[in-house]
Every structure is written in structure tokens, then in C-alpha cells.
Amino acid sequence: MRARNSILVIWFTLLIGLFFQIIPWSPSYDMFKPHLFLLIIAYWLITLPYQISIGTAFVFGLIIDLCSGTILGVHAFIYSLIAYLLVFKYQLLSNLALWQQAFILFGISVCYNALIFIFQASIYHTITMSPYILLSSCVDGFLWIWIYLLLQRIKLSFAIN
């Protein structure tokens, strides 16, 4: 029963991240929009890689594709690739200091934005890149510390292991 409750809490946090990911922002603030789903799934992949897998990232990526109106599979591929990299090095990442993890999550967010740009340029043949795209990655790096501490508290209070 405890394992079932723990997986429900994990999925609930992922659904909250998905909700915040698909909420539209005004164009003037869109450059500051954090990738909360990316941060939340990164936390669970680093701390519990055996409960949340690459398949979970793929399914949620498909849902983001459906909700955002992009070509089906773009976000699924990107989230699967990021999940693979995080699971591949989860032992290293879980032993790093929180500020070092924030720096790595900044880099992952930059890679996410770069992959979205590459897919947009190759599929739609439009280039919509601005130097402000790094602002969302900076926001992700700063938010990682708060997301990590919040999810760590949830993990401890629900005894998820």
C-alpha cells in the first residue's frame, strides 16, 4: 500500500509540473518561463531512477506535444533523451552539491532549448531564436534549488523511497 501511495504522490507532482508547463504565458514574459516539468522529472530521475523511467518522460513528452500543438514526438524525444542522460549519471548527480546540480540543470535546460530550436528550424523552416532564450535556462538553474528542497520535503513527509 505504501508503494502505491508513493507512486501516486510522484505522479501527482509530475502532473502539477505538466500543468505549469502547458500554461500559456504572455509573450512579454514568455522568455522567463521556467520548465517546471523538466525540473520535477529531473528530481525524480536523480533521486528515484527505478520508479520513474525514460518511458515516463516519453509519455509526458507526448502529452506536452498534444497540448502545445507541436509535431507529435518532438518533446517526447527530447524528454526521453534528457531522462536517459540523467538516469545514466544519476549516482554522480545525486552526490553533487545542490549548487553544482543547479549548474548542471542550467546546462540541461540550455540543451532543451537548443533541441527545440533545432526541431523548429528543421521542421518549420523558421528561426525564432533570441538571446533572451538563455533567461529561461537561468530561471531553471535558480529554481532547481527550490524545487529540489520542496520535492525533498514531499519525499520525506510521504516516506517515498
Alpha helices (H) in 23-132, listed in sequence order? 36-47, 54-68, 74-88, 90-94, 98-124
- Give the pLDDT band (50/70/90) at residue 1: low
The residues spanned by each domain of the chain are: 2-157
- 35 secondary structure, DSSP code: -
Distances (CA, A) of 23 to 1, 18, 30, 65: 33, 9, 11, 13
Amino acid, single-letter form, for residue 105: L
pLDDT tens across 111-156, in order? 999 998 888 888 877 776 667 778 889 999 999 999 999 999 999 9
Residue scoring higher pLDDT (104 or 3): 104
pLDDT tens across 35-84, in order? 999 999 999 999 999 888 999 999 999 999 999 888 889 999 999 999 99
Query: Cβ(145)–Cβ(102) under 8 Å?
Result: yes
How many Å apart are CA 138 and CA 91, to the nearest integer?
Answer: 24
Q: Which residue has the cell 531564436?
A: 129
pLDDT value at position 30?
Answer: 76
CATH topology of domain 2-157: Arp2/3 complex 21 kDa subunit ARPC3 (1.10.1760)
How many Å apart are CA 111 and CA 92, to the nearest integer?
Answer: 19
pLDDT value at position 120?
Answer: 84
Copy the grid coordinates of residue 113.
532549448
Copy the grid coordinates of residue 47.
533521486
Residues 6+ apart with CB under 8 A from 40: 13, 14, 16, 17, 147, 151
Q: How many CB atoms lie within 10 A of CB 142?
A: 13
pLDDT tens across 75-103, in order? 999 999 999 999 998 889 999 999 999 99
- Mean pLDDT on 3-25: 90
- Give the pLDDT band (50/70/90) at residue 159: confident
pLDDT value at position 2?
Answer: 67
